[in-house]
């Protein structure tokens, strides 16, 4: 599989497991992001985060949920991606009443496609970790914004100030 360049990233055509909560039950699907975009006539904010239920990741997910109506008015769907399992995502969604969909990328296929796994220094040791990153696609599936290694606090407000309608 060819790696995307920052200038020419397209949504992949392979399936990934996703979960969301509708009313009082969970809906799990294997989705292809390119097909999702073709069928829903909305832009897509695909954000990668390191781990469910950690402080920065919780801040980011709850901020996206709190501002969901603003993103919806601009014509964007929001999907979070981490290497956590679907079961972990369900607990994360329930605990924080998240209204966004989450992709489980346990095999790191999507993370590798978007090249968000990078060497980091943690407590003086080199480890491979997921860089908090966001990719914004317009309703035609064109990448309009990409940011890697970002800070979670206040990010949704910064992103909203940059986004044109999808």
Model pLDDT for residues 8-44, shown as the tens digit of each residue: 678 898 999 999 999 889 999 999 998 888 888 899 9
Distance CA 69, CA 159 (A): 14
Judge contact between 160 and 71, C-beta under 8 A: yes
Answer yes or no: is 49 within a domain.
Answer: yes
Burial of 2 (0-12, 13-18, 19+ CB in 10 A): exposed
- Chain centre distance of CA 10: 15
Say if 113 falls within a structural domain: yes
> How many structural domains comprise the chain?
1
For the stretch 103-159, pLDDT in tens is 999 999 999 999 999 887 778 888 888 999 999 999 988 999 999 989 999 999 999
Task: Tell me which residue range forms the domain holding 69.
Answer: 14-160
Residue 47 lies inside a defined structural domain of this protein:
yes
Which are the catalytic amino acids? 57
**Contact partners, residue 132, CB within 8 Å, separation at least 6:** 47, 48, 49, 50, 56, 57, 60, 148, 149, 150, 151, 152
The rounded distance, in Å, linking the Cα atoms of 75 and 64 is: 14
| 3 found inside a domain | no
Any idea what the Cα angle at residue 107 is, between residues 122 and 111, rounded to 5°?
A: 60
pTM of the model: 0.90
* Domain presence at residue 50: yes
- Per the domain annotation, does 75 fall within a domain? yes
Q: What is the mean pLDDT of residues 82-104?
A: 97
Longest dimension (CA), the chain: 46
- Tell how far CA 83 is from the center of its chain: 11
Do the domain assignments include residue 5? no
CATH value at residue 32: 3.40.30.10
**What's the rounded Cα separation, in Å, for the pair 90 and 12?**
24
Question: Does 1 reside within a domain?
Answer: no
């Amino acid at each position: 599989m060819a790696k995307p360049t920052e200038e020419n990233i397209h949504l992949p055509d392979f399936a990934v497991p996703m979960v969301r909560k509708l009313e009082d039950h969970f809906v799990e699907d294997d989705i292809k992001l390119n097909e999702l975009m073709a069928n829903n006539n909305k832009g897509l904010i695909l954000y990668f985060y390191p781990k469910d239920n950690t402080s920065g990741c919780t801040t980011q997910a709850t901020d996206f949920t709190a501002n969901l109506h603003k993103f919806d008015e601009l014509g964007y769907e929001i999907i979070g991606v981490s290497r956590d399992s679907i079961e972990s995502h369900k607990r994360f969604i329930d605990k924080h009443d998240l209204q966004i969909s989450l992709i489980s990328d346990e095999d790191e296929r999507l993370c590798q496609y978007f090249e968000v796994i990078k060497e980091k220094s943690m407590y003086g040791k080199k480890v491979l970790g997921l860089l908090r990153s966001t990719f914004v696609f317009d309703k035609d599936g064109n990448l309009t914004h990409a940011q890697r290694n970002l800070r979670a606090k206040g990010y949704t407000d910064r992103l909203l100030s940059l986004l044109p309608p999808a």
